[in-house]
């Protein structure tokens, strides 16, 4: 059950729907749903001296709520994982627990996407879907196409997208612990690209170009007293796109004059403290 005081934010916090100071807003909205309910199953089978694990899980949060969607679907054996699950870049160490479904902004995004990952001890390396989490460069455009209808020329507005994905994203992560202190460091390397050479209606200055995107994330948490945990994380990158949780920008854009692809830098961070009551026994 959700009650929004100022704006109607929907089934979870939509940051774009929050009114800025001085903007008109509509006060008081109640929402009730069970879309976060999940269905799934896991298996564990001895195979070749190791354990073959599989997982399939979904919930009803597809389309913002009401449609069944796939969350996890993967197999894992002897350190090798293939399928869709949490990205290897983002984690949960700096994520503050809240009742809202929207994660903590500013940290490495811990969303799910298709990947091929290998893990040994605390180190993991993965090839991941280049179009899902990180996103494509902003290479959309609109054009006017004149057609003849019953002998009359009519202008129709069309749109196109010249973004192109050529290589998977590369992610690396190391996670460890020292007593009650947990820490992780992640890195991401990707290619962002567009190609408008085969699209006649694209802007005249556009041709094709590519750029290198990268990102770094540090996160940690520590239990500093009974029932007290502090968390923090910082993320920075150029062309990082959606690998930064809550990033409002695409990973890159096309310079309208030169047609060159320009990456967009982004930095975020978060810190929090959790205090839980300690019950006497």
- pLDDT (tens digit, 9 = 90+) per residue, 211-247? 999 999 999 999 999 999 999 999 999 999 999 999 9
Task: Give the pLDDT mean for 168-177.
Answer: 98
Residue 37: both structure tokens together: 């309910």
The answer on pLDDT for 164 being more than 90 is: yes
Confidence of residue 125 (pLDDT cuts 50, 70, 90): very high
Strands 38-47, 29-31: pairing kind:
unpaired
Name the maximum alpha-carbon separation found in the chain: 88
Report helix, strand or coil for 242. helix
The answer on pLDDT for 72 being more than 90 is: yes
Residue 217: both structure tokens together: 């994330």
The answer on pLDDT for 256 being more than 80 is: yes
Q: Which of 18-32, 48-62, 82-96, 102-116 has the lowest mean pLDDT?
A: 18-32
Strands 38-47, 50-62: pairing kind:
antiparallel
Q: Which of 184, 255, 254, 243 is nearest to 213 (CA)?
A: 243
For a pLDDT cut of 70, what percent of the chain falls above it?
A: 100
Report helix, strand or coil for 189. strand
**Higher model confidence: residue 95 or residue 14?**
95
Q: Determine the pLDDT at residue 264.
A: 97
Work out the mean pLDDT of the chain and round it to a whole number.
93
The answer on pLDDT for 151 being more than 80 is: no
Give the integer Cα–Cα distance in Å for 240 and 237.
5
> Rounded to 10 degrees, what is the CA torsion of 124, 127, 131, 136?
90
Confidence of residue 138 (pLDDT cuts 50, 70, 90): very high
User: 221 and 93 in contact (C-beta within 8 Å)?
Assistant: yes
User: 261 and 193 in contact (C-beta within 8 Å)?
Assistant: yes
CB proximity list for 67: less than 8 A, separation 6 or greater: 60
Give the integer Cα–Cα distance in Å for 96 and 103.
8
Task: Give the pLDDT mean for 262-280.
Answer: 93
Give the integer Cα–Cα distance in Å for 208 and 194.
5
The answer on pLDDT for 1 being more than 80 is: yes
Task: Give the pLDDT mean for 112-125.
Answer: 97
* Burial (CB count <10 Å: 0-12, 13-18, 19+), residue 273: exposed
- Rounded to two decimals, the pTM is 0.90
* Burial (CB count <10 Å: 0-12, 13-18, 19+), residue 146: exposed
Report helix, strand or coil for 280. coil
Task: Give the pLDDT mean for 145-172.
Answer: 86
């Amino acid at each position: 059950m959700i009650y929004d005081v100022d704006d109607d934010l929907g089934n979870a916090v939509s940051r774009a729907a929050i009114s800025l100071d001085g903007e008109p807003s509509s006060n008081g909205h109640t929402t009730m749903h069970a879309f976060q309910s999940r269905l799934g199953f896991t298996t564990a089978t001895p195979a070749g001296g190791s354990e073959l694990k599989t997982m399939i899980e979904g919930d009803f949060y597809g389309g913002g709520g009401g449609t069944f969607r796939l969350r996890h679907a993967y197999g894992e054996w002897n350190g090798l994982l293939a399928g869709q699950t949490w990205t290897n870049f983002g984690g949960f160490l700096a994520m503050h627990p809240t009742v809202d479904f929207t994660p903590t902004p500013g940290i490495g995004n811990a969303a799910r996407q298709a990947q091929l990952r290998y893990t040994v001890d605390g180190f993991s390396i993965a090839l991941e879907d280049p179009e899902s989490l990180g996103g494509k460069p902003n290479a959309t455009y609109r054009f006017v196409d004149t057609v003849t209808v019953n002998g009359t020329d009519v202008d129709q507005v069309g749109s196109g997208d010249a973004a192109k994905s050529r290589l998977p994203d590369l992610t690396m992560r190391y996670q460890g612990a020292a007593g009650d202190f947990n820490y992780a460091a992640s890195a991401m390397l990707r290619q962002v690209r567009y190609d408008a050479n085969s699209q006649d209606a694209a802007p005249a200055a556009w041709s094709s170009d590519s750029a290198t995107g990268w990102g770094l994330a540090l996160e940690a948490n520590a239990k500093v007293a009974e029932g007290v945990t502090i968390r923090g994380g910082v993320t920075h990158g150029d062309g990082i796109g959606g690998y930064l949780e809550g990033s409002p920008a695409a990973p890159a854009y096309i310079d309208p004059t030169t047609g060159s692809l320009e990456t967009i830098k982004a930095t975020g961070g978060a810190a929090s403290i959790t205090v839980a009551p300690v019950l006497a026994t």
